[in-house]
C-alpha cells in the first residue's frame, strides 16, 4: 500500500510543524529545507480548510498535494492575495479509480499554476508544468516533485 498522506510546499521562516498543527494538519513527518526559505513537509491528514488557514495565517503562498495510495495526487495551491488553482497528478491512474477528469480541467490548472508561480515570485516552466499535469508515473510523488521543479520552487529536485 502506498502513501495516502500529502505534502505541503511553502516559503516559511517559522517552525513549520507548529504552524501546520495550528491550522489542522496532522501527522507531520519530515521537513526538507529547499532554498530561499522554501520547505516541503509531509503530513498524514489535512482538515477541510487547513491550506486556506495556513496561507492566511502565514501570508505565504503554498501548494498542497494529497496522495491517494501513491497512485493519484490532488493539487491545491493558494496565494495570500486569494489566487488559487487545483489540479490532478497521474490522470491515467485517476481514470482507473473512476475519478472524473472533467473536475480537473488541464488548461485552467496550467494557467493557475503559472499565475501562482508568478505571484510567489518564482519563474515557472509552462511546458514542464503541462507535462507534469498530463504525465504518468509509477508513484504520484514523482510527479509532485517534478511539479515543484516546474513551478520554479528554489532547490526543488526530481
Across the beta sheet with 72-78, what order do the strands follow? 31-33, 38-43, 6-11, 62-68, 72-78, 84-89
Which pLDDT value is given to residue 3?
53
Determine the Cα–Cα distance for residues 21 and 85; give it in Å rounded to an integer: 23
Which pLDDT value is given to residue 13?
73
Q: What predicted TM-score, i.e. pTM, was given to this entire model?
A: 0.93
Let me know if residue 156 belongs to a domain: no
Strands 72-78 and 84-89: antiparallel
Its domain, for residue 31, covers 6-150
Let me know if residue 158 belongs to a domain: no
Let me know if residue 116 belongs to a domain: yes
Structural domains in the chain (count): 1
List, for the chain, all residue ranges whose pLDDT scores fall below the cut of 70.
1-3
Let me know if residue 117 belongs to a domain: yes
**CB burial class (10 A; 0-12, 13-18, 19+) of residue 19?**
buried
Let me know if residue 1 belongs to a domain: no
77: nearest Cα among 156, 6, 142: 6
Amino acid at each position: 500500500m502506498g502513501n495516502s498522506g500529502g505534502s505541503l510546499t511553502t516559503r516559511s521562516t517559522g517552525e513549520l510543524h507548529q504552524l501546520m498543527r495550528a491550522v489542522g494538519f496532522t501527522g507531520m513527518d519530515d521537513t526538507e529545507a529547499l532554498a530561499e526559505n522554501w520547505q516541503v513537509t509531509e503530513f498524514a491528514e489535512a482538515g477541510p480548510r487547513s491550506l486556506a488557514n495556513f496561507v492566511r495565517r502565514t501570508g505565504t503562498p503554498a501548494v498542497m498535494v494529497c496522495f491517494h495510495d501513491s497512485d493519484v495526487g490532488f493539487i491545491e495551491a493558494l496565494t495570500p492575495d486569494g489566487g488559487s488553482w487545483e489540479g490532478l497528478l497521474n490522470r491515467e491512474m485517476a481514470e482507473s479509480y473512476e475519478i472524473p477528469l472533467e473536475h480537473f480541467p488541464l488548461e485552467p490548472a496550467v494557467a493557475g499554476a503559472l499565475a501562482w508561480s508568478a505571484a510567489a515570485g518564482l519563474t515557472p516552466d509552462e511546458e514542464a508544468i503541462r507535462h507534469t499535469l498530463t504525465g504518468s508515473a509509477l508513484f504520484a510523488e514523482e510527479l509532485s516533485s517534478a511539479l515543484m521543479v516546474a513551478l520554479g520552487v528554489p532547490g526543488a529536485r526530481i
